[in-house]
A and B are shown apart, each in its own frame.
Chain A
Amino acid sequence: MSGGPRIDDWSTGAEAIVYQSCAACSATQYFRRSFCAGCGAPGPVEKRASGEGVVYATSLVVRAATPEARAHVPYNIILVDAAEGFRMMAHGDNDLKIGDRVTARYARFTGRLIPYFARTKS
């Protein structure tokens, strides 16, 4: 049960970052569920995120685990604090620093669509 229609996001191949917002406690969550993990209320509302955020952490992967991923090394795995209040994992430019303001676009990685962040152009 969801509080609105399910919006496709990058995990299903659509160029979008989607999060859920709880009407009862106003918590936001990124991992999709049929309830709010904060208060348990059913039907959090799905919303499309702006793609704006701030870099929380980075790790440049040089040693990948699969032959498919190895074709992409080095790739920068980052955690981004989204403007809407949730945190997400994504890829980003290799020179991103913690605290950088970033904007999402989309890239291909091992044959799949993934969110990719670069510094926000001011």
Chain B
Amino acid sequence: MSFITGVGLTSFGRHEGSSTLDLMSKAAELAIADAGLKRAEIDGVLCGYSTVQPHIMLATVFAEHFGIKPSYAHAVQVGGATGLAMTMLAHTIVEAGLARHVLVVSGENRLTGQSRDAAIQALAQVGHPEYEMPLGPTIPAYYGLVASRYMHEYGVSEEGLAEFAVLMRDNAADHPGAQFRDRITVNDVMNSKPVALPLKLLDCCPVSDGGAAFVVSREPTSGIGVRVRGCAQAHTHQYVTTLPQFDAMGAAMSLKRASTASGVAIGDVRYAGIYDSFTITLAMLLEELGLAERGEAAARVRSGHFSRDGEMPLNTHGGLLSYGHCGVGGAMAHLVETQLQMTGRAGNRQVRDASIALLHGDGGVLSSHVSMFLERVR
């Protein structure tokens, strides 16, 4: 068994003058304190990557900087799925008895540490170097392509996609750490600047500075335990050109495997933390994962199903779309918020029941998937 015993999250947005290591350290310090541990008790470190500070040994660079000497440490790279992939690995490491307290940490000054062009260019490299990159695609264009096809096949409208941006902004309005907190309307999304149609500016997550961390331990360190029930992955392709048919995508595959590993069914879930790099990402994943029928997710947003007081509260911190996206730490914020909800510490954002949660991450262009079920135990 493994438990998420402590969480730490910085605000996202501008952290002028903060380096990748600064943001990692800040989040790590918060998570370790939250778990009620001392730095020296951390015997495992997993970290993501930083596009601003690329390094072949980021985990040990961090450990040295932070002042710890773990018995297990390395970096993990699976794009947007990295946070949950690290959590899955930490769970496995702890279960195998290789470490007692694994610190999972990431941070990046992605917004202020480089020009926006550099950030966009670094990310676009998930495209094929010979057969896609020369055509000048961007990450929004990859997802714009997916959106155009998904909308075509399932009758989803641009207004429908906009509902997800509105919901994430409503959620972020109540989180002081969120990058964007001013409420928006469907019209605002529709009238925002075109980026890669059908995606417009407010369909896209921002670039942020920020850090996130958590501790995965063999035993709970406080009264309420958040237990990792089971997790699984699926990797079906890398490039948008080789995207499988929508009925054979990786999200459903990884979810099914996670259900088998955990004995938890999608119907048991009370809270969802789902990757939302773009509105289309969130809409598609919700439908892939069975949290809505094909083409029906937007209607469920409108009916309040995914609202904080609805049946399936979703990304109550505001998600990547409004809390922000600082790289690997971006999707880790979903897990931080989930842990707070499950331990009843989400303050004015607290939902009624977060006893069983589903987390899902996606890297590349819906290429790499990690699904994870968490359960509250006393």
Q: Which residues of A contact B (CB under 8 A)?
A: 11, 30-32, 56-67, 69, 72, 74-75, 77-79, 87-91, 98-99, 109-110, 112, 114
Contact = CB atoms under 8 A, between A and B. Distances in A.
Contact of B195 (A62, A69, A87, A112): A62
A61 B148 contact: no
Contact of A69 (B136, B142, B194): B136
B138 A65 contact: yes
A91 B135 contact: yes
Interface stretch (B45-53, B124-132, B157-165, B173-181): B124-132
B223 interface: no
A114 B137 CA distance: 13
A10 to B, nearest CB: 8
Nearest to B121: A65
Nearest to A111: B134
Nearest to A116: B135
Contacts of B146: 57
B: contact size bracket: 20 to 34
Contacts of A77: 135-137, 141, 144-145, 196
Contact of A87 (B134, B147, B198, B241): B241
A63 B138 contact: yes
A61 B193 contact: no
B2 to A, nearest CB: 36
Interface centre among B128, B147, B197 (most CB of A within 10 A): B197
B138 A79 contact: no
A98 to B, nearest CB: 5
Contact of A61 (B128, B141, B241): B141
B117 A89 contact: no
Contacts of B142: 59
Given A60-B196, A63-B193, A75 B136 contact: yes
A64 B133 CA distance: 12
B378 interface: no
B138 A109 contact: no
A95 to B, nearest CB: 12
Contacts of A62: 193-197
A29 to B, nearest CB: 9
Contact of B145 (A58, A66, A67, A88): A58
Given A11-B130, A31-B128, A77-B145, A64 B138 contact: yes
Given A60-B144, A63-B193, A69-B136, 18 more contacts: A57-B152, A59-B141, A59-B144, A59-B199, A61-B136, A62-B197, A63-B196, A64-B136, A66-B117, A66-B121, A77-B135, A77-B141, A77-B145, A79-B145, A89-B128, A98-B149, A98-B152, A109-B134
Nearest to A72: B136
B137 A89 contact: yes
Contact of A30 (B131, B141, B198): B131
B161 to A, nearest CB: 13
Interface centre among A59, A61, A66, A78 (most CB of B within 10 A): A59
